[in-house]
Structure 1
Amino acid sequence: MENTTRDYSHINGWGIDADPKNDPTYPMKKRTNEEHRGYSWKRPTQQAETVEILHSIERPNVTAVFGTTVPPSGLSGMIRRFAFKYSENVYPHWLPLLLADRINVVEGFIEDFKNGKVPNIFAEKGMKADLAHDRAGLIKKGVIAGLLIGGVIAFMAGKNSNNSRKLDY
């Protein structure tokens, strides 16, 4: 690979940090208590809580501004409530949240069907881009999904046939 220098001087501010002596952290400045007075700020007005808001147990209250578009509901909401009983630095917080996200996708599909809308899973999962840029990966995902679904169906069919073969003596 050829290393060529280019002139970026036409970009306003380009290279401003090239000189280490012009870097505001070089050398590290010793701050005084007098300077810290300027760091105070007024908390923004608290947003009204119109839906259930889940927040970390490390925080005494909710943040001033938060999202309200998708309040916790259904099975995924129950899992999220469970997860927020734990600190953010442990697996029982993050793993249930990952599971709740996956369950929420399925709940969204069910909600679509209940409202009479057939979801376009191919488009919503970005499979058009996969088909164009990662065809082998898409085929691999399809084969794995087919094997998993086939295995579940075979397992369920075998379980049902065992129940019908029971003999009464």
Structure 2
Amino acid sequence: MENKDKDYSHIKGWGIDADPKNDPTYPMRKRGNDDHTGYNWDRPTQQTETIEVLHSVERPNVTAVFGTSKPPKGLSGMIRRYAFQFGEGQFSHWLPLIVADRVDAIEGIVEDLKSGHIPNIFAEKGYKAQWKYNRTGVITKVAVATAVTTAVVLAFRRKCKD
């Protein structure tokens, strides 16, 4: 097999990193241990933990500063605690977190209803803007939701008759 040099100059951006003088990472490769003085920094003072803070199993402790506005609670909190038993490189970490977000949204609606506040889901989900700028998408979503709901209702009715 022959290794021929081909001309790729017609491809926009081809060979942009071929010149070491134009490589933004190039100076980093030439540094020695004495050149890293600009990288030293002092860790910020550790924020006190007044609530439960979930952190990755890959970290020995929590970060110096963290958010406290939404501590884990309820079913979504239990799902989050389960997810943080796994490393960040695993689906068993990320998929439960996605589910926990959905469960948390439903828990928020239930809390609103318990406190006597009826949420305006139409406005909160931005359906007015969607209707204005993506009308076909809204119609498609409504049609699919109607079809799925109808299929589920018919399946339950058939099951109840049996």
TM bucket (normalised to shorter chain) is 0.7 to 0.9
Unaligned 5+ runs, structure 1: 1-19, 163-169
Name 1:115's counterpart in structure 2: 115
Aligned partner of 1:156 in structure 2 is 156
| Residue in 2 that maps onto 1:64 | 64
Aligned to 1:103: 103
User: Residue in 1 aligned with 2:51?
Assistant: 51
1:95-131 alpha-carbon deviations (Å, 9 max, x no partner): 1111111111111111100010000101111111101
Q: CA deviation at 1:25?
A: 4.4
Residues 130 and 37 of structure 1: CA distance in aligned 2, closer, same or farther (over 3 Å): same
TM-score, with length taken from structure 1 = 0.76
**AA paired with 1:100?**
A
Give 1:44 deviation, angstroms: 0.3
**Could you say what the CA RMSD is over the residues aligned between the two structures, in angstroms?**
2.0
**How far apart, CA to CA, are the structure 2 residues paired with 1:148 and 1:66?**
41
What's the CA shift for 1:41? Answer: 0.8
Which structure 2 residues correspond to residues 22-101 of structure 1 after superposition, within 5 A? 25=25, 30-101=30-101
- Secondary structure (helix, strand or coil) at the match of 2:110 reads helix
Which ranges of 4 or more aligned residues in structure 1 deviate by more than 4 Å?
20-29
1:24/1:87 Cα in 2 relative to 1: closer, same or farther (>3 Å)? closer
Tell me the TM-score normalized by structure 2.
Answer: 0.79
Alignment partner of 1:124 is 2:124: yes
- Where does structure 2 lack aligned partners over 5 or more consecutive residues? 1-19
Amino acid of the structure 1 residue aligned with 2:79: I
Q: Distance in 2 between matches of 1:159 and 1:23?
A: 67
Paired-residue identity, %: 57
One-letter amino acid matched to 1:149: T
Q: Does 1:137 align with 2:133?
A: no
The CA deviation at 1:30 is: 1.1
Aligned length: 143
Deviation, 1:154, is 2.6
* Residue in 1 that maps onto 2:10: none
SS of the counterpart of 1:50? coil
